[in-house]
Structure 1
Amino acid sequence: MSTASSSSSHDGGDVGGGDFEGPSHSRQRFNTAVWPEPFLEALATQIAIDAAIELGRLAAAPALSNFFQVCRTWRSISQSDPLWQTLTRRIWHRHRLLHPSWHEEFIYRHRTATNFRSRSYTYATLNFPPNDDNNNEALYCCRLALSDHHLAAGFSDGSVRLFHLPTRLHVTTFHPHQRNHLGLFSRAVSGIFFTGNRLVFGSLDGDIHVASIDVPGAPRRAHLGDVVTDGVLVDFTGCSRWWVGLYAGVPNCAFHVRNSDTEELVFIGGTLMDPDAVNGWHLLTDLTEHIGRIRITSDDLAVGFTSQRVIVFDLRNQMILGEEEFRRQINVGVADAYDEAVLFVNGRGVANVRQVRSLDEICRFMARGSLLGCINGGYCFISVGGGVRVWELDHGGSLYILGELIGDAAAMVADERYAAAYGGDNRIHLWDFGARL
């Protein structure tokens, strides 16, 4: 495979290319006719997945390279696009094509992940217009979200600015419907995410808006929040199936789960935020504290954090699968979950990476002085000392510090190609690790 061009162990050799050059008598010992293609595809899939689980995702390509070199028949399996589709989904958790074939998609994901490890990226800052209302209200970025082609930034005035990533240009600004507010920051964006061609965002007062990326126009208010009845919407996230809000201020109402298609409420309950009720109300007048986070990972699981607890919640069956109380409080600003990993950092600066479903420990490392953080499928990004330090998640190894100073970060996000942060310099910083095929 042209997964990588060099011969290093991380690049994976030339998977799917080249002839087997062993002695002729060795080749004659293989009776490849007895190996049907479906069996070989299943074997290649299992070998790649086992390598990824044991050694990390970048180990899948070298394992496949060795497999394809056995003989010409085994190498022919590398031409099966369904094989690459399965591997791309299982190893890279990618379900949509950005490239002409699944083979090329796998290659791109491998090379991009290699770029994260080797600090190979392009850097830019995103410029956005000042407050469009001309009321001299200072803008403060509260949340960032990424999709394949866009970045969205949610601000303290409730507005959301949309950027086109290939051109780095500001596309439009969405303004929510205005109404009476309880507290200076009640309309501040508390959560934002992409789903298909829609952008969904919520504010501390509980309002939820939906905007179309492709069709210009004002966002639609999908839900009118009621702070007195529901509490403060501390964090908000979603995917193609669910919208999940994390609320503080009203007992036994921590989770509000909605069906993303019908937008109807299907579950409300949970005590996760009960100890932080007062802090929840304080957010309406002071945005400096992080008191709770909610993340949706694979397999319809949600992970909720406070400074004292983490829980794993099954969205489909609406039940708690696991929970843990922390002996030392954690920094909620650095708590994150992505795919199959959970990250949190305690007050002593010890970062802990866990498996989502079981909460079993994967690794730990030191991250003293951490202010804000996020993870993607293989790497951790933490704002420390005015810069961003990067670790790998499989073993907790420290890799490097990004070359640009950003000050104290107020919002951070990362996916399988980009990392972005809103820094203390009031700019949006963007790092693009995307590989070139």
Structure 2
Amino acid sequence: MQVCSTWRAISRSDHLWQRLTRCIWRRPHRVRDTWHEEFIFWHRTDRNYVTGRYLYSSVHYNPAPFDVDPPNLCRCLTLSDNHLACGFADGTVRLFDLQTRAHVITFRSHHDDVLGLFSRSVSGIIITDSTLVFATLDGNIYIADINGPPDTHITRPGAILRNGVLVEFAGSGRWWVGLFAGSPHQSFRVWDARGEQPDYTGGSLTNPYSVQGWHMLTDITDPVGRLRVTTRELAVACTRSRLVVFDLRNPGVYLRELASRVGFIVTSLDVSHETLFIVERRGRASVRRASTLEPQCEEFMVAAGPSLRGMIGSMNLVYVLICAGGEVRLWNVELGAAHLRLTINERVGLGMAMAANDRNVAVSCRDTSIHLWDFGVQ
């Protein structure tokens, strides 16, 4: 097949492949030697989702000698390009290298004035470059250097009796945001991450769930809510009955609200770039643009009946992922309609937390196992 000399010259332009990689795969930074290689890598990775080609591993670590029961329960997960961070009920964050799957380092919270068996439980983790920030249910926010010693310091001390329980924590390099339950009209707290200073307190989203929030300190209960932040720094938060969206630069005003008569499954909520995904309690899922809540594809069923118990969800650029009934399934949602593309071969226990990016999928379970699938096999 003959190719004209003009196209051959253009196709060798790294600037062209840079634009294509950023436009199609939303990758702002190059990891491989050229942008052409970067494009090929992500094209092959996307193909692996279609063909079901991946590398599976079970994450192994040394259990911590703390007295929380169960001590090894992983309650939240966060993925970056290089690391998997696992937040545990004993207040530790264990960091794993995604290339080697090796346990790299453990960061520990401080355990003064413990109020309830799970008050030290990790409620959210943010990874930005070499900085790791995590929060615990008692409201403490810790900061650590991924490339440094395993030391943490409290950048914002909690005041649980005044502020309530910090049930979810998320953010970016610019903002941190916490979802609280237990203190009326203080559902959200926003901090300026650069100065580590508080910027806003308010909101009534969790007012009806104050008692449930306090129970999270003593029991393994269903979460009060879920909180995520988009790449354009919109916060998306939900409880069983409501979902709200607000700009972190103007948190006192909700941009959009959505109510559910049957109720949301809060552990299904996730965002990818500017899109959100959530499932209602009868198993019907929707994918929406975060800024407008406009549907991005037709609603679809992801589960029904007993498999709805313990459902957790996540999403990446192309797929939504559901862990329910011991199975992990992936739906393609990029073309206006959802299509079931893959049921992962490995079965898992009752899901506790889930995280996904464009290459990796991670699930932690109540049997203390942690599972990792890498679709970047070349």
Q: TM-score range by the shorter chain?
A: over 0.9
Q: 2:2 corresponds to which letter in structure 1?
A: D
Cα distance in 2 for partners of 1:104, 1:77 equals 15
Pair 1:382-2:322 in alignment: yes
Q: Which residue of 2 aligns with 1:19?
A: 2
> Which is further off, 403-412 or 316-325?
316-325
Structure with more helix by fraction: 1
Alignment of 1:15-414 (within 5 A): 19-20=2-3, 71-133=4-66, 138-318=71-251, 319-363=253-297, 364-368=299-303, 369-370=307-308, 371-394=311-334, 395-414=337-356
Q: 1:203 corresponds to which letter in structure 2?
A: T
Equivalent pair of 2:245/2:290 in contact (CA under 8 Å): yes
> Which is further off, 203-212 or 259-268?
259-268
Once the two structures are TM-superposed, the CA of residue 137 in structure 1 deviates from its matched residue by 5.5
Pair 1:421-2:363 in alignment: yes
Cα distance in 1 for partners of 2:243, 2:5 equals 51
Equivalent pair of 2:73/2:366 in contact (CA under 8 Å): no
Equivalent pair of 2:277/2:287 in contact (CA under 8 Å): yes
- Alpha-carbon deviations, 1:301-330, whole Å to 9, x = none? 111111111111111233322111112201
Q: Secondary structure at the match of 1:178?
A: coil
Equivalent pair of 1:81/1:103 in contact (CA under 8 Å): yes
Structure with more strand by fraction: 2
Equivalent pair of 1:308/1:326 in contact (CA under 8 Å): yes
Equivalent pair of 1:412/1:421 in contact (CA under 8 Å): yes
Q: Which residue of 2 aligns with 1:39?
A: none
Once the two structures are TM-superposed, the CA of residue 87 in structure 1 deviates from its matched residue by 3.0
Pair 1:430-2:372 in alignment: yes
- Alpha-carbon deviations, 1:183-211, whole Å to 9, x = none? 11111001012111011110000001111
Cα distance in 1 for partners of 2:345, 2:367 equals 16
Q: 2:220 corresponds to which letter in structure 1?
A: L
Q: Secondary structure at the match of 2:351?
A: coil
> Which is further off, 265-274 or 116-125?
265-274
Equivalent pair of 2:106/2:150 in contact (CA under 8 Å): no
Cα distance in 2 for partners of 1:435, 1:135 equals 37
Equivalent pair of 2:56/2:373 in contact (CA under 8 Å): yes
Work out the percentage of aligned pairs sharing the same amino acid.
44
Q: 2:343 corresponds to which letter in structure 1?
A: I
Cα distance in 2 for partners of 1:264, 1:278 equals 28
> Which is further off, 311-320 or 276-285?
311-320
- Alpha-carbon deviations, 1:29-58, whole Å to 9, x = none? xxxxxxxxxxxxxxxxxxxxxxxxxxxxxx
Once the two structures are TM-superposed, the CA of residue 99 in structure 1 deviates from its matched residue by 0.8
Equivalent pair of 2:68/2:118 in contact (CA under 8 Å): no
Q: What TM-score, normalized by structure 1, do the two folds share? A: 0.81
> Which is further off, 399-408 or 418-427?
418-427
Greater RCO structure (CA 8 Å; 6+ sep): 2
Number of paired residues? 369
- Alpha-carbon deviations, 1:121-164, whole Å to 9, x = none? 01001111112347876321100111112111111010111111
Cα distance in 1 for partners of 2:134, 2:212 equals 22
Q: Judging changes above 3 Å, is the alpha-carbon distance between structure 1 residues 176 and 83 closer, same or farther for their aligned structure 2 residues?
A: same
Extract unaligned runs of 5+ from structure 1. Answer: 1-17, 21-70
Extract unaligned runs of 5+ from structure 2. Answer: none
Structure index of larger Rg = 1
Q: Judging changes above 3 Å, is the alpha-carbon distance between structure 1 residues 137 and 425 closer, same or farther for their aligned structure 2 residues?
A: closer
Q: Judging changes above 3 Å, is the alpha-carbon distance between structure 1 residues 280 and 425 closer, same or farther for their aligned structure 2 residues?
A: closer
Q: 1:19 corresponds to which letter in structure 2?
A: Q
Cα distance in 1 for partners of 2:6, 2:342 equals 42
Equivalent pair of 2:75/2:352 in contact (CA under 8 Å): yes
Cα distance in 2 for partners of 1:404, 1:190 equals 27
Cα distance in 2 for partners of 1:198, 1:387 equals 33
Once the two structures are TM-superposed, the CA of residue 75 in structure 1 deviates from its matched residue by 4.8
Cα distance in 1 for partners of 2:69, 2:227 equals 32
Q: Judging changes above 3 Å, is the alpha-carbon distance between structure 1 residues 343 and 300 closer, same or farther for their aligned structure 2 residues?
A: same
